[in-house]
């Protein structure tokens, strides 16, 4: 089943023509309308008319998250503010987040790519979709919403949380498609089991999941617990949101919506392109976005692209699930967390030594974040209640900074590894390979 068979199954050569046409157009618009790109291209000695083939994209400079942050809030917009109809942000490392702006046409494209993906999952206008992704500045909730609305399905915009209510609605409303992050999905399944929910009474036919790293083992577990297939969704706010790549019924990689997003894989050290099938950093270019076209964005996500024929008939290149990051970003409970954010929070507390270690675990299905902090003479008190309140204070400070709850452990001085070169700040005990 296809949402847009013509685009999705387009012969590769024909698509390349379309991509080149769109690339030339978007590069020209970025050069004309975004001072950042004009300067970048000028500095690199490249002009829009130098793009004569798709390979010529390599002549263009890469764009990083720092570039987007420096353009905060609206410096990357390529249209006048009145044409922007919606804003989203991605979580920031230090200080400002990065802003994503959308025109009406951009929202239309976002809806289109998500509609294609949700159709891959089997969603039709006769179905009910329960969207547990958060609605707000995070793009997860709205991306799914727009796609489902485009199809004409019935959306339950329940967002994350209220787990018992989720289960009640899943049973009573007879939701057919369920969208969640893998860890929340597994948690939801546990609670459903405790509540005595019988799989046979549900009307589920598929699950879409994304926004955090997962393993094949987790997918198997989700499928076993819900008794339906589960499909991967990939996206990032800087480029658009969810909908950049989605999985078809073959469950063998995600189809990149190449008519709207141009993917490349580079070596994150040399920045040179890598041959097909090799693992490296994913770089994405918006081919059709009006409001904020991003050229060659370094996603820092590690994956590989494979141009093999898919049994579903789509001709889009396939991307492996994300197996790592080229920076130190962690996804914890679906939220992007950088060690630098935790450091920033710690530095706000007087007398605290900036020696810390972050330990991420997934004891059952839910992520847990522990931050070990060295106690210092000025922090240490003979009173247990004071030590406990210092611990709480640190926990709250970190919570304010990263948006999720952590468990702080005070450890003895000089017991955490010191920075000799690159400090080992993070111990991620979850396994994603």
Q: Which residues bind other proteins (CB under 8 A)?
A: 375-377, 380-384, 387-388, 409-415
User: Other C-beta atoms within 10 Å of 97: how many?
Assistant: 17
Q: How far is the CB of 321 from other proteins (least distance, A)?
A: 35
Is the torsion defined by CA of 342, 348, 354, 359 positive or negative? Answer: negative
Is the torsion defined by CA of 215, 221, 226, 227 positive or negative? Answer: positive
User: Which of 362, 303, 299, 308 is CA-nearest to residue 336?
Assistant: 299
Residue with smaller CB distance to other proteins, 311 or 376? 376
Q: How far is the CB of 382 from other proteins (least distance, A)?
A: 4
Residue with smaller CB distance to other proteins, 51 or 373? 373
Q: How far is the CB of 407 from other proteins (least distance, A)?
A: 9
Beta bridge partners of residue 361, listed in sequence order: 368
Question: What are the respective helix, strand and coil percentages of the chain, to the nearest 5?
Answer: 35, 25, 40
Q: How far is the CB of 411 from other proteins (least distance, A)?
A: 5
Q: How far is the CB of 359 from other proteins (least distance, A)?
A: 12
Helix axes 12-33, 35-44, angle to 10 degrees: 110
Residue with smaller CB distance to other proteins, 385 or 422? 385
Residue with smaller CB distance to other proteins, 200 or 383? 383
Q: How far is the CB of 413 from other proteins (least distance, A)?
A: 5
Residue with smaller CB distance to other proteins, 11 or 363? 363
Residue with smaller CB distance to other proteins, 302 or 349? 349
Contact by Cβ (8 Å): 144, 131:
yes
Q: How far is the CB of 375 from other proteins (least distance, A)?
A: 5
Q: How far is the CB of 395 from other proteins (least distance, A)?
A: 12
- Residues making up the chain, counted from first to last: 433
CA distance 37 to 60: 10
Instruction: Tell me if residue 263 falls in helix, strand or coil.
Output: strand
Residue with smaller CB distance to other proteins, 240 or 379? 379
Is the torsion defined by CA of 188, 333, 280, 15 positive or negative? Answer: positive
E-strand ranges in 162-240 read 177-180, 206-210, 230-236
Reduce the secondary structure of 14-66 to three states and give it as a string.
HHHHHHHHHHHHHHHHHHHHCHHHHHHHHHHCCCHHHCCCHHHHHHCCCECHH
Residue with smaller CB distance to other proteins, 364 or 415? 415
Residue with smaller CB distance to other proteins, 113 or 375? 375
User: Which of 117, 118, 116 is CA-nearest to residue 130?
Assistant: 118
């Amino acid at each position: 089943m296809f949402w847009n068979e013509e685009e999705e199954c387009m012969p590769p050569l024909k698509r390349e023509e379309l991509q080149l046409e769109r690339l030339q157009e978007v590069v020209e618009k970025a050069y004309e309308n975004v001072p950042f790109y004009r300067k970048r291209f000028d500095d690199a000695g490249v002009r829009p008319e130098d793009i004569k083939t798709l390979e010529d994209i390599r002549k263009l400079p890469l764009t990083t998250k720092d570039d987007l942050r420096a353009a905060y809030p609206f410096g990357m917009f390529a249209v006048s503010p009145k044409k922007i109809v919606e804003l989203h942000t991605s979580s920031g490392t230090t200080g400002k987040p990065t802003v994503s702006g959308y025109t009406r046409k951009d929202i239309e494209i976002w809806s289109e790519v998500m509609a294609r993906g949700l159709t891959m999952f089997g969603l039709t206008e006769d179905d009910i979709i329960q969207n547990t992704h958060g609605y707000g500045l995070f793009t997860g909730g709205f991306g799914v919403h727009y796609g489902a609305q485009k199809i004409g399905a019935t959306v339950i915009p329940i967002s994350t949380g209220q787990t018992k209510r989720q289960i009640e609605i899943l049973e009573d409303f007879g939701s057919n498609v369920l969208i969640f992050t893998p860890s929340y999905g597994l948690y939801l399944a546990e609670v459903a089991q405790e509540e005595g929910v019988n799989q046979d009474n549900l009307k589920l036919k598929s699950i879409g999941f994304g926004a955090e790293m997962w393993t094949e083992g987790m997918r198997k577990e989700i499928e076993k617990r819900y008794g339906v297939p589960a499909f991967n969704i990939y996206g990032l706010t800087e480029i658009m949101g969810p909908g950049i790549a989605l999985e078809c019924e073959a469950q063998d990689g995600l189809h990149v919506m190449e008519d709207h997003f141009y993917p490349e894989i580079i070596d994150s050290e040399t920045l040179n392109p890598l041959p097909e099938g090799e693992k490296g950093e994913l770089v994405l270019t918006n081919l059709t976005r009006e409001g904020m076209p991003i050229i060659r964005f370094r996603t820092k996500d590690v994956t590989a692209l494979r141009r093999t024929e898919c049994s579903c008939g789509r001709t889009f290149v396939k991307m492996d699930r994300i197996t790592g990051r080229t920076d130190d970003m962690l996804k914890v409970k679906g939220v992007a967390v950088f060690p630098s954010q935790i450091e920033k929070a710690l530095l706000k507390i007087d007398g605290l030594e900036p020696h810390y270690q972050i330990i991420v675990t997934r004891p059952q299905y839910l992520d847990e974040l522990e931050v070990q902090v060295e106690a210092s003479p000025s922090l240490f008190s003979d009173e247990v209640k004071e030590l406990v309140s210092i611990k709480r204070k640190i926990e709250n400070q970190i919570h304010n900074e990263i948006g999720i709850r952590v468990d702080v452990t005070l450890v003895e001085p000089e017991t955490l590894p010191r920075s000799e070169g690159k400090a080992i700040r993070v111990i991620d005990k979850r396994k994603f390979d």
